[in-house]
């Protein structure tokens, strides 16, 4: 039988020269397919950035909600001294969706810094994977990385997976990695309901609060859009 799924394969490349800042924000809401994921979009994306100049900065912000399968790892090569790489991500999977996403931060220059904040929300039978690499090369004196990977589970048939690869070749590096997994609590939802909110509004509020650190990085209009989209993506996930 012929497969009805469609493919989206985009390539984005960024180069930041001396003192340049690039902020690249994406909200992805491709079609997830039917309840079984049939007909959904395969979203296989190449996104990479190079901080070539001194004091340059590249910041990726993404909200992934729609595709049947997402594979996407926007990365930063931090070549210029004092350059900065950032990755802020929210990925939501519901029904049969799969999102496998993360970043690569490759520290080459001196005093390079990177920040990774990833929020994965899994509902229905959705699977969410954070897969990331932080690599500190030999010459990257005083490199710093801060990573935070938070997963939220809604229901008992979804999954959250975290694969952080950390490769440090310079002893002056300072690395921080924090990870958490939480289940959206019955008590939290009940608390909201007891104040008059519907189940859907309660979930929407709790999830939006969970994603706040990423949403605040988005441009204003995007942030409003992202919050609404999250509500739509999670519709029907809580009885």
| Interaction of residue 195 with other proteins, rule CB under 8 A | yes
SS3 194: helix
Stretch that binds other proteins, among 18-26, 42-50, 170-178, 184-192 (CB under 8 A): 184-192
Question: Using CA atoms, how far apart are residues 201 and 189, in angstroms rounded to an integer?
Answer: 9
One of 164, 205, 225, 231 touching other proteins (CB under 8 A): 205
User: At closest approach, how far in Å is the CB of 191 from other proteins?
Assistant: 5
Task: In whole angstroms, give the CA distance from residue 100 to residue 204.
Answer: 23
Element (H, E) at 158: none
Burial of 51 (0-12, 13-18, 19+ CB in 10 A): buried
Q: Site for other proteins (CB under 8 A): which residue of 22, 166, 175, 199?
A: 199
SS3 126: coil
220 binds other proteins (CB under 8 A): no
Q: What is the DSSP letter of 154?
A: -
| Contact between 206 and other proteins per CB under 8 A | yes
Q: Which is nearer to other proteins, 1 or 220 (CB)?
A: 220
Residue 209 interacts with other proteins (CB under 8 A): yes or no = yes
Q: Tell whether residue 212 is a contact of other proteins (CB under 8 A).
A: yes
By CB under 8 A, tell whether 228 contacts other proteins. Answer: no
- Tell me which of 23, 188, 225, 231 binds other proteins, using CB under 8 A: 188
CA distance 91 to 70: 9
Q: Out of 36, 163, 172, 190, point to the residue binding other proteins (CB under 8 A).
A: 190
Distance of closest approach, residue 134 Cβ to other proteins, in angstroms: 25
Residue 170 binds other proteins (CB under 8 A): no
Instruction: State yes or no: residue 138 binds other proteins (CB under 8 A).
Output: no
Provide the 3-class DSSP secondary structure of residue 123. Answer: coil
Which strands form 21-28's sheet, in the order they lie side by side? 21-28, 57-64, 84-93, 113-122, 144-153, 174-183
226 interacts with other proteins by CB under 8 A: no
Q: By the 8 A CB rule, do 67 and 102 touch?
A: no
Residues lying near other proteins in the complex (CB under 8 A): 185-188, 190-199, 201, 205-206, 208-213
């Amino acid at each position: 039988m012929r497969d009805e799924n469609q493919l989206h394969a985009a390539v984005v490349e960024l180069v930041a020269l001396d003192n340049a800042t690039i902020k690249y924000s994406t909200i992805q809401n491709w079609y997830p397919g039917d309840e079984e994921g049939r007909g959904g979009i395969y979203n296989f994306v190449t996104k990479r950035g190079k901080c070539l100049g001194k004091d340059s900065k590249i910041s990726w912000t993404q909200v992934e909600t729609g595709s049947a399968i997402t594979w996407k790892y926007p990365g930063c090569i931090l070549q210029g001294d004092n350059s900065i790489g950032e990755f802020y991500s929210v990925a939501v999977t519901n029904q049969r969706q799969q999102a496998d996403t993360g970043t690569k931060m490759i520290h080459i220059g001196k005093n390079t810094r990177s920040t990774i904040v990833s929020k994965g929300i899994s509902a229905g039978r959705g699977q969410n994977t954070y897969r990331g690499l932080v690599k500190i090369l030999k010459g990257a004196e005083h490199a710093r990385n801060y990573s935070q990977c938070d997963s939220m589970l809604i229901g008992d048939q979804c999954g959250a997976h975290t694969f952080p690869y950390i490769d440090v070749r310079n002893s002056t590096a300072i690395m921080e990695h924090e990870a958490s997994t939480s289940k959206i609590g019955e008590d939290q939802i009940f608390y909201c309901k007891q104040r008059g909110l519907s189940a859907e509004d309660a979930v929407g509020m709790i999830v939006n609060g969970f994603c706040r650190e990423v949403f605040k990085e988005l441009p204003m209009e995007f942030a409003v859009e992202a919050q609404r989209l999250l509500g739509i993506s999670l519709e029907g996930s809580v009885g």
